[in-house]
Amino acid sequence: MATYTPMIQQYLTIKAEYEDAFLFFRLGDFYEMFFEDATRASQELEITLTSRDGGGADRIPMCGVPYHSAPTYIERLVEKGYKVAICEQVEDPKQAKGVVKREVVQVISPGTLMDEKGLQEKENNFISSVTQFEDDTYSLAFSDLSTGENSVTMLSSSWEDVVAEIYSREAKEIVVDPDFSPERLQQLKERKAITVSYEKNATLDFEFTHLVEGMQQQKLITAFARLINYLIRTQKRSLEHLQPVQFYQINQYMKIDLFSKRNLELTETIRSKGKKGSLLWLLDKTVTAMGGRLLKTWIDRPLLQQQQIENRLNMVETFMNQFFEREELRELLTEVYDLERLAGRVAFGNVNARDLVQLKKSLQKIPFIQQVVKRLNHSYATELVEGMDPCERLESLLERGLKDHPPLSIKEGDIIKDGYHDQLDQYRDASRNGKSWIAALEQREREKTGIKSLKIGYNRVFGYYIEVTKANLHLLPEGMYERKQTLTNAERYITPELKEKETLILEAEDKIVQLEYELFLQIRDEVKTYIPRLQALAKVVSELDVLQCFAKISEERHYTKPVFSPSGDIRIENGRHPVVEKVMNAQEYVPNDCFMSEDSQVLLITGPNMSGKSTYMRQVALTAILGQVGCFVPADQAVLPIFDQVFTRIGAADDLISGQSTFMVEMLETKNAVVNATQSSLILLDEIGRGTSTYDGMALAQAIIEHIHEHIGCKTLFSTHYHELTVLEQDLSMLKNVHVSAIEKNGKVVFLHKIKDGAADKSYGIHVAELAELPDPLIERARVILQDLEQPKEEITINQVVNKKEEHTVKEDKVEIDSLKADTDSQLSFFEASQKETKKASSLSKYEKAVLEKLKELDVLEMTPLHAMNALYELQKSLKKK
């Protein structure tokens, strides 16, 4: 290091503190990067890599970006998950002795982005923090620096739940203790692209204790404190806009696990991971950014309290019934600016005069919003708007102070209105008088000289000048003016009087610009004192916006107000899948009922591929979720229970990122459902077992249905290809068969998409293959094989399936049992034989009876193949002995 130049030494010292960030090192009009940073940045940003001599043996790799275009480059790096440390010159280079002093003034990272361009207006930008305690509980904190929202929760379950929560809040960055388990972080990163940051200090700075007032549990505060300390360390500026921390519990809301959120495409689609095509996309008729963000939060967190749900539904109903008020409100809301993000930028010192003019316009709309909402005559709505604070004093300050169309820059004047500030008015007078004096001088000189084209101009280098064209020079008395500049066609002159005025004007203009800037900062500081009030206002505005949005969509798409019944029954008449219906056109969509009560807790859905089984299952879940979010639902009538959790296992969302096999994911999702579901949950299982061999799959499917039926007893929709499972209806009293109907017309299958009672009589797989235009000979061959398979050689019953499964595993294990083979041609005939034997049991010896008893008691499904073989062997041995 000693051989490096002082500046490179300074760079290296600062860089050592920000190893995990690109260091943007200010050098004049550029931000430069050196060494490794330069090499990587040149690749990531596709900018030229150069090098410079830094005093060491080798030249130092270097690349840079002009400071005025830096925001674009920073945004690109941050979007890729990197952090950027901005290092500025913090003293005037002219005054500096030696190397100019430099400091990092801010670290910009995915979770601390404040720049509007890098943020989605209708999405929060969360940074999170997690602390793990010795008893394996976790405290989890979230903060959106752009809006100032903070929340904390405590999770005593598994790391998977923590991951799910971070995933569902779409946190971009996570702050943990440097000793935090790398394995856990790895698991998280496998699920989600997230930037990891470290912060040791988990003690809350005194300045922020008011945000956690009333919060007793120290553990909760720990994660939040770590987060705040990280923000203090990296942002190095006022965090005054941070709002009091909200404590929430995940069981306050309907729990929808990670898999299910994705499967149901609540806020993003499975394929494109984008909003388009999701439930959020369909519903989003919000007109403010704040409303858009709240809508997403509400969809993510359906309610559990009937009263709260009905409050929302009643408001939606009122908005539906009062079209004119609703439309008027929508109009007004479109003019309300993003008050939350504005408050954040005010605290950060990032607002310009245009932002504040927008704020003024927003505030001016508040009294009108209050009036129109009161006209609804709805008590909750009235209460909501009565609490709105139009911040009149602030509004009038902004109205008096700021021009209506100020420039973007806050340092070039033209911001403050006349009459706002005496001194400013005086400077402006001086400047304006000076200018009119110059105009008068021009007139005077023209008359004096008789040169009509004589003019007075201004440029930055020479200031004001008198210009006379060459053609008119002969009219100018010698020595009248002092010559300053010669152009091709003209001469430019000055006079002492002109220069004197010029000084006055320029001084006044300098002072104007300086004073306007100071006055603007004063106004901005005044706005700062209103931050909490603006945030409170934002809350009401966003709630009104989401409720009008629900009313609008419900009206447009003919939704109905759901009724919540304590009986636990579901009665959906003519229900529809909200998104599929929209995409495909309402006339084509076939509505379906869903009736589930005590004797039909489990619906076993059979039907051909492509007939609409998954769509039907999803539509039931989406109806339940929409209802609990407080929106009307796509049906003619809907009576629903309040579900505590929704679990799904639905085909397409295979977890490719985490590298699990399809079948493993299927089993993990199923496990999640059977372990966590309660009687008040909703489970959707789509073709469970499809990912393994037929017998394995069928056995598992049956065991899962039985388990849910016997031990959980919650509403379950189970679709299957295994027609054999439909016989379960005879044994399981709460299971009901339904099927999606299809008919064959001229040898082709026609899907009716209609759910009907009873089991499907036929599978139409080959027809679907035909629809997919597989080659004709292949389809023909499949038909022949199918015919062959469908020969009534054997009618498989469920119990036989279990037996066949055993046969399968026996074969796999390649264990030979000669005597068994000799006795039976196949396991199936062995089973039939043993059934006959059972009937003859009365004529059996007591040993044989005992063996049969033992055989009966074997819990085959619980045994490994090896155990089963051993047991069989023992039984056979005891028979042979006797």
Query: Contacting ligand ATP (CB under 6 A), which of 262, 275, 613, 649?
Result: 613
Min separation Cβ 580 and ligand ATP, Å: 6
Cα–Cα dist 421/401, whole Å: 8
Rounded-to-10 torsion of CA 373, 376, 382, 384:
-50
Site string for ligand ATP, 621-650 (x = CB under 6 A): ------------------------------
Answer yes or no whether residue 765 interacts with ligand ATP by CB under 6 A: no
Using the minimum distance from each CB to ligand ATP, give the nearer residue, 302 or 612.
612
Give least dist CB 600 to ligand ATP, A: 20
720 binds ligand ATP (CB under 6 A): no
Does residue 275 belong to the site contacting ligand ATP (CB under 6 A)? no
Contact between 651 and ligand ATP per CB under 6 A: yes
Contact pick of 611, 623, 716, 737 for ligand ATP (by CB under 6 A): 611
For 269, 457, 621, the CA distances from 275, given in Å and listed in that order, are: 6, 57, 19
Residue with tokens 């999405």: 123
Q: Which stretch binds ligand ATP (CB under 6 A): 310-318, 611-619, 672-680, 707-715?
A: 611-619
Among 24, 73, 589, 632, binds ligand ATP (CB under 6 A): 589
Instruction: Give 144 or 686: the residue with its C-beta nearer to ligand ATP.
Output: 686
For ligand ATP, which stretch binds (CB under 6 A), given 312-320, 397-405, 613-621, 835-843?
613-621
Q: Among 98, 107, 130, which Cα is nearest to 17's?
A: 107
Shorter beta-carbon distance to ligand ATP: residue 610 or 646: 610
The answer to whether the beta carbons of residues 744 and 612 sit under 8 Å apart is no
Size of the site for ligand ATP (CB under 6 A): 16
Which one among 109, 131, 615, 827 touches ligand ATP, defined by CB under 6 A?
Answer: 615
CB of 736 to ligand ATP, least distance (A): 18
Q: Which two tokens stand for residue 198?
A: 């470290």
The residue among 554 and 615 lying less far from ligand ATP, judged by its C-beta, is 615
Q: Which is nearer to ligand ATP, 607 or 630 (CB)?
A: 607
Enter the tokens of residue 374. Answer: 């009161």
Q: What is the amino acid identity at position 245?
A: V
CA distance 492 to 467: 4
Contacts of residue 801, defined as CB under 8 A and 6 or more positions apart, other chains included, come to 695, 698, 699, 702, 724
Task: Give CA–CA dist 340/537, Å, rounded.
Answer: 9
Range 330-369, binding ligand ATP (CB under 6 A): none
CB atoms within 10 A of CB 594: 24
User: Shortest gap between Cβ of 787 and ligand ATP (angstroms)?
Assistant: 23
Which pair of tokens denotes residue 379? 């008590």
Q: Among residues 78 and 610, whose Cβ is nearest to ligand ATP?
A: 610
For residues 85 and 39, the answer to whether their CB atoms sit within 8 Å is no
* C-beta closer to ligand ATP: residue 782 or 860: 782
H/E stretch holding 748:
strand 748-757
Give min distance, CB of 721 to ligand ATP, in A: 7
CA 253 from chain centre, in angstroms, equals: 17
Stretch of 407-415, 539-547, 612-620, 871-879 contacting ligand ATP, by CB under 6 A: 612-620
Contacts of residue 859, Cβ cutoff 8 Å, sequence gap at least 6:
none
Q: Where would I find the beta strands (DSSP E) of 28-186? A: 30-34, 50-52, 60-66, 84-89, 102-108, 126-132, 138-144, 149-155, 173-176
As measured in angstroms, the least distance from the Cβ of 576 to ligand ATP is: 7
Taking CB under 6 A as the rule, does residue 575 contact ligand ATP? no
Least distance from C-beta 263 to ligand ATP, angstroms? 12
Of 124 and 611, the one with the shorter C-beta distance to ligand ATP is: 611
| CA distance from start to end of the chain | 92
Stretch that binds ligand ATP, among 169-177, 422-430, 588-596, 792-800 (CB under 6 A): 588-596
Is 582 a binding residue for ligand ATP by CB under 6 A? The answer is: no
- Please tell me whether residue 614 binds ligand ATP under the rule CB under 6 A: yes
- In this complex, which beta carbon is closest to ligand ATP, that of residue 628 or of residue 741? 741
Q: Is 610 in the site for ligand ATP (CB under 6 A)?
A: yes
Instruction: Please state the closest distance from residue 691 (CB atom) to ligand ATP, in A.
Output: 13
664 phi, psi to nearest 5 deg: -60, -45
**Which amino acids are annotated as binding site, given as ranges?**
607-614
- Considering beta carbons, is residue 52 or 271 the nearer one to ligand ATP? 271
CB of 595 to ligand ATP, least distance (A): 16
Options 147, 278, 322, 609; binder of ligand ATP; rule CB under 6 A: 609
Query: Phi/psi zone of residue 385: left (φ > 0), alpha (ψ -120 to 50 degrees), beta?
Result: alpha
Query: Contacts with ligand ATP in 278-307 (CB under 6 A)?
Result: none
Residue number with the smallest Cβ distance to ligand ATP: 612
φ, ψ of residue 604 in degrees (nearest 5): -100, 115
Binding residue positions for ATP: 607-614
- The secondary structure of 378-415 as a DSSP string is -HHHHHHHHT----HHHHHHHHHHB-SS--S-SSSS--
Cα separation, 126 vs 148, in Å, equals: 10
Contacts of 466 (CB under 8 A, 6+ apart): 442, 445, 454, 455, 456, 481, 492, 493, 494, 495, 498
Nearer to ligand ATP, 241 or 576 (CB): 576
- Nearest-approach distance from CB 589 to ligand ATP, in angstroms: 4
> In Å, what is the CA distance from 652 to each residue of 266, 411, 608, 682?
15, 55, 17, 19
221/232 Cα distance (integer angstroms): 16
Q: How far is the CB of 610 from ligand ATP (least distance, A)?
A: 5
**Nearest distance, CB of residue 740 and ligand ATP, angstroms:** 6
* Nearest distance, CB of residue 763 and ligand ATP, angstroms: 10
> Of 343, 334, 257, which is closest to residue 300 (Cα–Cα)?
257
Closer residue to ligand ATP, CB minimum distance, 266 or 749: 749
Helix or strand holding residue 340 (H, E): helix 339-348
User: Near ligand ATP by CB under 6 A, which window of 237-245, 363-371, 567-575, 581-589?
Assistant: 581-589
Ordered DSSP codes for 406-426: --S-SSSS--BPTTS-HHHHH
Interface with ligand ATP includes 612 (CB under 6 A)? yes
- Which residue, among 553, 582, 588, 572, has the nearest Cα to 635 in the 3D structure? 572
CB 651, min distance to ligand ATP, A = 6
**What Rg, from alpha-carbon coordinates, does the chain have?**
38
State the Cα–Cα distance between residues 288 and 551, nearest whole angstrom: 16
Residue 593 CB, shortest distance to ligand ATP, in Å, is: 11
Q: Which member of 753, 767, 804, 805 binds ligand ATP (CB under 6 A)? A: 753
Q: Which is nearer to ligand ATP, 124 or 716 (CB)?
A: 716
Residue 739 within binding range of ligand ATP, rule CB under 6 A: no
C-beta of 45 vs 610, nearer to ligand ATP: 610
**Residue pair 831/805 in contact by the 8 Å Cβ criterion:** no
According to DSSP, residue 57 is labeled S
CA distances from 354 to 204, 334, 406, 450, 524 (A): 36, 17, 6, 47, 12
Residue for token pair 């209050």: 370
Pick one of 196, 590, 668, 875: the residue that binds ligand ATP (CB under 6 A).
590
Burial of residue 752 (CB within 10 Å: 0-12, 13-18, 19+) is middle
Q: Given the complex with ligand ATP, which of 593 and 832 has the nearer CB atom?
A: 593
Residues that bind ligand ATP (CB under 6 A): 580, 584, 588-590, 592, 607, 609-615, 651, 753
